[in-house]
Amino acid sequence: MIQAANRTQGVKEYYFSLKLKEIARMNEGEVKVLNLGIGNPDMSPSENTWGMLKEACSHPMSHGYQSYQGIPALREAFSKWYKTFFKVDLNPAKEILPLMGSKEGIMITSLAYLNEGEEVLIPNPSYPTYTSVTNLLGGKIVSYPLFEENNYYPDFEELEKKDLSKVKIMWINYPHMPTGARASKELFEKVVAFGLKHEILIVNDNPYGFILNDSPLSIMSIDGAKECCIELNSLSKSHNMPGWRVGMICGKAELLEPVLKVKTNMDSGMFYPIQQAAVKALSQDQSWYDSINATYKIRRKLVFKLMNLIGCTPREDQAGMFVWAAIPNKYKDSYELSDKILKESRVFITPGGIFGDQGDKYIRISLCSSEALIQEAIDRIKEN
């Protein structure tokens, strides 16, 4: 039998991929599973975004290969977006690189900077892709725990006790997924100082900045950040465009150059109509985000109700499109509670343990389901 590459041995199939297969089998029965697990926005992009997509499809150049760096209009739109909402100046010609989703950015940034055996600081809990990509590339994971009592911020005193001589990259993600913790200017100042001191590339993954968050914050707004930081962002969550695959990475030109080298060898540019539609999406004013958040606020109240019903205790100050909550002590871990609810009520809730062992005693519910569906989940759980 032909053997797969060794790098695949340290990577498992993505948890949600496996769980969706299980749910599909359960859905062959009479009672369908209500999936409250995945952050897949169910609302639509703005109408003018749709209109621009249709209009751009008739453009003579729409079906050809596109620039690896994205069309100038898209880079300029990202630059204006950052200036308007983050108060950050970015040169659209040199400091912005559009991506096919920020998930691509995790891979190509790691490819651009990480040598086999070099170390990567990864928060626990965190988005599992940081870990899987590091494993695929032969990097060494140095996990740093995040605790609720410290607002899920890094403990820099503990980090300074480590041998950091082989650390190349530090991943951070604020507003934090899965916990919903918001960043502060003081936190980012500490992160930048840490990166400069130890010559570590800091990468902030920032797709949740506009969801239930009144004060979007970019690490690029901090003095000195451009010397050691780059930031990923995305239209998936903020503009209800996850399937469109539009994201970006920004930072100093010299730090983006290696990323661009990798990207030019991996794709041939983003579909032109999608780029033009993204330009339109990025032009939305504050009222767009307010309208989306009005819906998420209603849903969050219902999810809090569901959490309380199963004995879980969410924090009130969370940002992002999820609710994170501690589970009752009677459960061994989050998997036990998640599996119990799935089996008894046909409702899927994400176990926090998939984000690292610091999440073992927590669960997460997505706000990407209608009020009617969340209420149905509540009713089912009440029956059991």
Tell me, yes or no, whether 118 and 264 share the same domain.
Answer: yes
CA-CA distances (angstroms) from residue 237 to 4, 20, 39, 44, 156?
A: 34, 21, 8, 11, 30
Last residue within a domain, chosen from 252, 282, 312 = 282
Regarding whether 150 and 193 lie in a shared domain, the answer is yes
- In a domain, residue 49? The reply is no
pLDDT at 316: 86
Rounded-to-integer distance, Cα 181 and Cα 342, Å: 27
Amino acid in the structure at residue 349: I
Domain contains 240: yes
- Tens-digit pLDDT profile for residues 15-36: 767 777 888 887 887 788 899 9
Label residues 249-278 b or e (16+ Cβ within 10 Å = b): bbbbeebbeebbeebeeeeebbbbbbbbbb
Beta strand extents in 150-289 (DSSP E only):
167-172, 201-205, 229-234, 247-251
C-alpha triplet 329, 334, 338: angle, nearest 5°: 115
The β-bridge partners of 248 are: 98, 233
167 and 296 together in one domain: no
SS (H, E, C) 115-181: CCCCEEEEEECCCHHHHHHHHHCCCEEEEEECCHHHCCCCCHHHHHCCCCCCEEEEEECCCCCCCCC
* pTM reported for the whole predicted model: 0.92
Query: How far is Cα 378 from Cα 358, in angstroms, rounded to an integer?
Result: 27
The tally of CA atoms less than 13 A away on the side-chain side of residue 52 is 17
DSSP letter, residue 63: T
Look at residue 313 and tell me if it is in a domain.
Answer: yes
Domain total for the chain? 2
Supply the pLDDT for residue 244.
Answer: 86
Q: Give the CATH number for residue 201.
A: 3.40.640.10
Same domain, 174 and 67: yes
The answer to whether residues 123 and 243 belong to one domain is yes
Write down the pLDDT at residue 148. 94
Using the 3D structure, point to which of 267, 282, 297 is the last residue of a domain.
Answer: 282
On whether the CB atoms of residues 173 and 205 are closer than 8 A, the answer is yes
Please report how the helices 47-56 and 272-282 are oriented relative to each other, as an axis angle in degrees rounded to 10: 150
Could you tell me the residue range of the domain that residue 337 belongs to? 6-44+287-383
pLDDT at 302: 96
Helix (H) or strand (E) holding 64: none
pLDDT at 269: 86
88, 215: one domain = yes
Residue 66 and residue 261: Cα distance in Å, rounded? 16
| 214 and 99, same domain (yes or no) | yes
Q: Positive or negative CA dihedral for 350, 353, 356, 360?
A: positive
Which residues in the chain show pLDDT less than 50? none
- Amino acid, res. 11: V
In angstroms, the CA 16 to CA 303 distance is 20
What are the CA-CA distances from residue 125 to residues 130, 167, 293 (Å)? 11, 19, 25
- Do 179 and 153 reside in the same domain of the chain? yes
Which pLDDT belongs to residue 19? Answer: 76
In one letter, which amino acid is 384?
N
Q: Are residues 23 and 72 in the same domain?
A: no
Same domain? 268 vs 291: no
**Domain stops at, among 282, 311, 340:** 282
Residues 6+ apart with CB under 8 A from 4: none
Q: In what order do the strands lie in the sheet with 350-351?
A: 313-314, 322-326, 362-366, 350-351
Sheet holding 140-145, edge to edge: 96-99, 247-251, 229-234, 201-205, 167-172, 119-124, 140-145
Tell me the CATH number at 350.
Answer: 3.90.1150.10
